[in-house]
Amino acid sequence: MHVRRKLPLLDLDPDLGLLLPEDRRELCRRELLVEPSRLPRGPWSAGGERPDPEHPGLLLIEGVIAREVVVSDTISTELLGPGDVVRPWSLQAAPAMLQAEIRWSVLTESRVALLDRRFGAQLGDWPEIAVALLDRLNERAHRLALTQAISQLNRVDRRLLSLFWHLAERWGRITTEGVAIPLTLSHRMLGQLVGARRPTVSTAIGELAARGELVRRGDGSWLLPGEPVGAPSGGAERVVPVRRRLLGPPGTAKPVRLEAP
C-alpha cells in the first residue's frame, strides 16, 4: 500500500454526508480526514500492513476487490466496490472447527481509505457519518443475503440471470438496447459467484443467449435486454440507481475486466 497524505472523507465519498445539515458539512469536511492508499492489481494482504485491531476498517473509494472464501475445493466470491466498508482484521482468531481460507484480490487498480483510531474517536462528534457507515455495512449484508438466495435457485441459468440483474443495480448503465454491465466477468468467476462449475456456467450462458435474455458484447461486457427478474416489472430505470462513482458519466465508461490475477 502506497501511503498518501490525509484527505477530507467527504471529498472522497460525498454520499457519507447525506444526513449532515448544511451548517455542519464544511466543519465535518475539515475535521474528518482519512488516509487514502492505492492498490495495484493482484493478491492483497487486506490490511496486513495495518494490524492494529482498534482501527475501525477500510473504505473502498475506487476499483473492484474480490473476497474469496475457500472451503475444501470450493470458492465463493464476493465483489466489493466503491463505498463498501471492510474490516479484514479481527479482535480474536476465528474458530477452527471448519477450516476455511479467506483470500483477497484487487481486480482493478483500486484506492482505499484507512479509517484509523483517530477517525473512530472523532465519530462520536459526527453521528450522521456513523449512521451512514452502518448503513453501508447493512447494504453489504443485504447483498450477501441476496447472493446466497441466488445461489440456491434450482437452475444455473436462473442463478446467472438473477446475478446479472443484481450486479446491474450497482454497476449497470441504461442504454437504448437494455442495461449494460461493463464488467468482463469470466465464466470461472461467475461460477464462484453463483455456486456452479465453469462448464455448467458456460452451458447456461449459451441458453440465456439463445433466449435473448443475456448478451455478451464484443468488448467482453454484458447486456440485459429484458426486464428485471425476481421483482415486480416496471422498467429497469427504477432498479438501476443514479450513483455511478466507479463508472463516470454515461457514454464514457469502459469495460472493467474482472479476473483474479
Q: How far is CA 180 from CA 167, 189, 244, in A?
A: 10, 19, 13
Mean pLDDT over 196-214 rounds to 96
C-alpha cell at 34: 482519512
The candidate with the shortest Cα–Cα distance to 2, out of 42, 46, 51, 39, is 39
Specify the pLDDT at position 246.
Answer: 46
Query: Which of 226 and 167 is assigned the larger pLDDT?
Result: 167
Q: Do 107 and 234 fall into the same domain? A: no
Q: Do 137 and 159 fall into the same domain? A: no
pLDDT > 90 in the chain, percent: 68
CA distance 32 to 126: 9
Per-residue pLDDT band for 50 (boundaries 50, 70, 90) equals low
**Residue/partner pairs of 184-192 with CB below 8 Å, 24 or more apart:** 184/219, 184/220, 184/221, 184/255, 184/256, 184/257, 184/258, 184/259, 185/222, 185/258, 186/258, 186/259, 189/66, 189/77, 189/258, 189/259, 189/260, 190/160, 190/163, 192/68, 192/75, 192/76, 192/77
Q: Do 133 and 86 fall into the same domain? A: yes
Residue 244 pLDDT exceeds 50: no
CATH number at residue 38: 2.60.120.10
CA distance 150 to 143: 10
Query: Which of 45 and 66 is assigned the larger pLDDT?
Result: 66
Per-residue pLDDT band for 235 (boundaries 50, 70, 90) equals low
Q: Which of 149, 165, 200 is the last residue of a domain?
A: 149
Specify the pLDDT at position 58.
Answer: 94
Q: Which of 110, 129, 149 is the last residue of a domain?
A: 149
Question: Could you tell me which residues come within 8 angstroms of residue 63 by beta carbon, excluding any fewer than 6 positions away?
Answer: 39, 81, 82, 106, 107, 108, 109, 110, 111, 246
Say which range, 49-53, 184-188, 208-212, has the weakest mean pLDDT: 49-53
Q: Do 142 and 19 fall into the same domain? A: yes
Q: Do 94 and 207 fall into the same domain? A: no
Specify the pLDDT at position 90.
Answer: 77
Specify the pLDDT at position 258.
Answer: 66
Query: Which of 52 and 51 is assigned the larger pLDDT?
Result: 52
Specify the pLDDT at position 251.
Answer: 54
Per-residue pLDDT band for 256 (boundaries 50, 70, 90) equals low
- Please state the domain count of the chain: 2
Residue 106 pLDDT exceeds 80: yes
Residue 92 pLDDT exceeds 90: no
Q: Which of 94, 115, 149 is the last residue of a domain?
A: 149
Q: Do 67 and 181 fall into the same domain? A: no
Q: Do 103 and 54 fall into the same domain? A: yes
Q: Do 9 and 39 fall into the same domain? A: yes
CA distance 258 to 106: 9
Specify the pLDDT at position 98.
Answer: 78
Specify the pLDDT at position 72.
Answer: 87
C-alpha cell at 12: 472522497
Specify the pLDDT at position 164.
Answer: 96
Residue 1 pLDDT exceeds 70: no
CATH number at residue 160: 1.10.10.10
Q: Do 225 and 113 fall into the same domain? A: no
Q: Do 144 and 165 fall into the same domain? A: no
Question: Could you tell me which residues come within 8 angstroms of residue 44 by beta carbon, excluding any fewer than 6 positions away?
Answer: 65, 104, 105, 106
Q: Do 7 and 131 fall into the same domain? A: yes
Query: Which of 115 and 245 is assigned the larger pLDDT?
Result: 115
Per-residue pLDDT band for 232 (boundaries 50, 70, 90) equals very low
Question: Could you tell me which residues come within 8 angstroms of residue 217 by beta carbon, excluding any fewer than 6 positions away?
Answer: 180, 223
Specify the pLDDT at position 70.
Answer: 92
What's the pLDDT tens digit per position in 117-171?
999 999 999 999 999 999 999 999 999 999 999 999 999 999 999 999 999 999 9
What's the pLDDT tens digit per position in 12-36?
999 999 999 999 999 999 999 999 9
Domain containing residue 205: 155-258
C-alpha cell at 228: 428485471
Q: Do 134 and 177 fall into the same domain? A: no
